[in-house]
């Protein structure tokens, strides 16, 4: 695959006209150029579950660089097996993001660093942490405010537009359309032990970078990365939306003394509940 083809594949992969998607608006978005026929063939064929990988040039074990095409195929095949889908998806969009593992409560900063790759930018978690501390957004990497995350994104990604959305379900079309245009969704949610969305009232608040979607006639699944696993995740849109909208309080497990964590005015509910960011390259 040529570098130009890889760039097209990583940034946006659309396997159906957008007007065929049941969530599209009356004004369809023209699909991006399709990959070569040989690449397209692989997306609807079963591939061995042994993806090839290559080592990152970054000498840091927290970085992991899989073969992006194989990763999407393997992830989609897991979907077919787990969900029992018989039909091909109406829409598939996917943008490769590098995987970065977090150290400490830095999930939001890690998600932002991963999302930066979509705008061809390189932003380190350490630089984001220093700036967040300087601005008074965070003590040790925690980010309990969507607005503060938006400010950091604007400061480090000058070629990216930042949109704060209120309510994932209400903005379903906006989210899917934006992903089809190559955007990344940064979203807080409650993470279960397997890192998937759950509802714990915000006690397990975590951040993820959503970089793709698979849409069928009856379901929409979002492809996401988060800082506690190298694996590309697939989550039901409505399950993630429910998790996002249940972030209402700071976890008692983190101690009665919340001085180690910076909370915005109004707490977790005001900072995170029902809110997310769309990062779109200008």
Per DSSP, 130 falls in state H
Cα 75–chain centre separation? 15
Q: Which residues contact 146 (CB under 8 A, 6 or more apart)?
A: 164, 188, 271, 272, 275, 276, 277
Is 107 marked active-site? yes
Q: In terms of Cα–Cα distance, which of 202, 201, 207 is closest to 143?
A: 207
Cβ atoms 264, 139 nearer than 8 A: no
Q: Which residues contact 149 (CB under 8 A, 6 or more apart)?
A: 108, 112, 143, 186, 207, 277
Q: In terms of Cα–Cα distance, which of 239, 248, 241 is closest to 273?
A: 248
Work out whether the CA dihedral 14, 18, 24, 29 comes out positive or negative.
positive
Q: Where are the beta strands (DSSP E) in 192-274?
A: 197-198, 205-215, 220-226, 233-236
Cβ atoms 31, 69 nearer than 8 A: no
> Which position among 14, 107, 211, 220 bears the catalytic label?
107
- Bridge partners for 163 per DSSP: 278
53: enclosing H helix or E strand: strand 53-54
DSSP H stretches of helix in 117-266: 125-134, 146-156, 172-180, 237-244
Catalytic residues: 107
């Amino acid at each position: 695959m040529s570098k130009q083809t890889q760039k097209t594949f990583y940034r946006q992969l659309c396997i159906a006209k957008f007007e065929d998607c049941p969530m599209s608006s009356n004004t369809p978005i023209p699909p991006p150029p399709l990959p070569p026929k040989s690449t397209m063939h692989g997306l609807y064929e079963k591939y061995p579950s042994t993806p090839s990988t290559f080592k990152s040039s970054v000498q840091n074990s927290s970085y992991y660089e899989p073969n992006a095409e194989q990763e999407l195929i393997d992830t989609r095949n897991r979907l077919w097996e787990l969900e029992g889908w018989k039909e091909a998806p109406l829409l598939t969009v996917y943008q490769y993001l590098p995987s970065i593992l977090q150290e400490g409560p830095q999930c939001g900063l890690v998600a932002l660093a991963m999302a930066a790759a979509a705008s061809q930018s390189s932003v380190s978690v350490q630089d984001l942490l220093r700036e967040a501390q300087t601005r008074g957004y965070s003590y040790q990497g925690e980010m309990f405010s969507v607005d503060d995350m938006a400010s950091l994104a604007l400061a480090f990604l000058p070629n990216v537009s930042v949109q704060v959305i209120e309510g994932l379900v209400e903005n379903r079309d906006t989210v899917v359309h934006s992903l089809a245009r190559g955007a990344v969704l940064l979203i807080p949610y409650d993470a279960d032990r397997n890192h998937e969305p759950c509802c714990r009232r915000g006690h397990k608040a975590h951040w993820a970078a959503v970089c793709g979607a698979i849409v069928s006639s009856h379901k929409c699944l979002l492809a996401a990365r988060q800082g506690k696993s190298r694996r590309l995740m697939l989550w039901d849109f409505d399950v993630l939306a429910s998790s996002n909208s249940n972030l209402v309080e700071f976890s008692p497990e983190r101690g009665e003394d919340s001085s180690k964590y910076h909370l915005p005015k109004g707490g977790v509910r005001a900072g995170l509940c029902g809110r997310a960011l769309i990062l779109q390259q200008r």
